Structures are given as structure tokens and as C-alpha cells.
Amino acid sequence: MPNSNKYASLLIDLDFLETQVEILTTRFNELLKQNSLLQNQLKDIRSENESIKSQLNNFETEVINVVQSSGANSLDILSEEHRLALKEKISSAINKIDVYLAKL
């Protein structure tokens, strides 16, 4: 009889361990999926960040070219149309950055 109690106790302990392993395995798999999703989001955000940086560099180059072509050193030479277009492009880029920062 004492051996049967030890075996019963051992089976209970093994059952408990098996349950814990299943729980941990499930949680591990969930974390792997979440990690994968976060890695994909990070990749997308980095790609979008590079795109926005490129757009900002293009805007800067455009402004410099307009200023240099006019022979002036001031942004006052930009026509109202160019100025509004640049403001809109810059505002759009800032909004994209804000959206991505809000997601973090």
C-alpha cells in the first residue's frame, strides 16, 4: 500500500507538470506570433520612415533649387502656390510621422 500511495502521488505530480508544460507551450507560441507581428510592423515602420525621410529630402532640395534659381537667399521669393504646396507636403509628412508614433 505505501508504494501505491507513492505512485498515486507521483502520477498527480506528473499530471500537474504536464498541465503546466501545456500552458507554458501555449503561451510561448502566442508570444512567438506576437513577436512575429511586431517584427513585421517594425519593418513596415522603418520602410515608411525611409520613405518619409526621402520625401523630406526631396522637399528640401526643391526649396534649395527654387531659392538658388532665383538668386535670392530668402524663402520670400517662393510664390504663394509653391509655398502652399510645400506646406501641404510637409504637413502630410508630419501627419504620417504622428500616426506611426501614435501606434508605438
- Over residues 53-68, the pLDDT tens digits come to 888 888 888 877 777 7
pLDDT attached to residue 78: 63
Question: Domain-by-domain residue ranges, the chain?
Answer: 2-103
Mean pLDDT of 55-83: 72
Confidence of residue 30 (pLDDT cuts 50, 70, 90): very high
How far apart CA 48 and CA 81 sit, in angstroms, is 27
- CB distance 91 to 59 below 8 Å: no
Within 10 angstroms of residue 75's Cβ, the number of other Cβ atoms is 12
Asked whether the predicted pLDDT for residue 86 surpasses 60, the reply is yes
**Dihedral angle at the C-alpha atoms of 85, 96, 43, 30, nearest 10 degrees?**
-160
Asked whether the predicted pLDDT for residue 75 surpasses 70, the reply is no
- CB distance 63 to 75 below 8 Å: yes
Instruction: Specify the pTM.
Output: 0.54
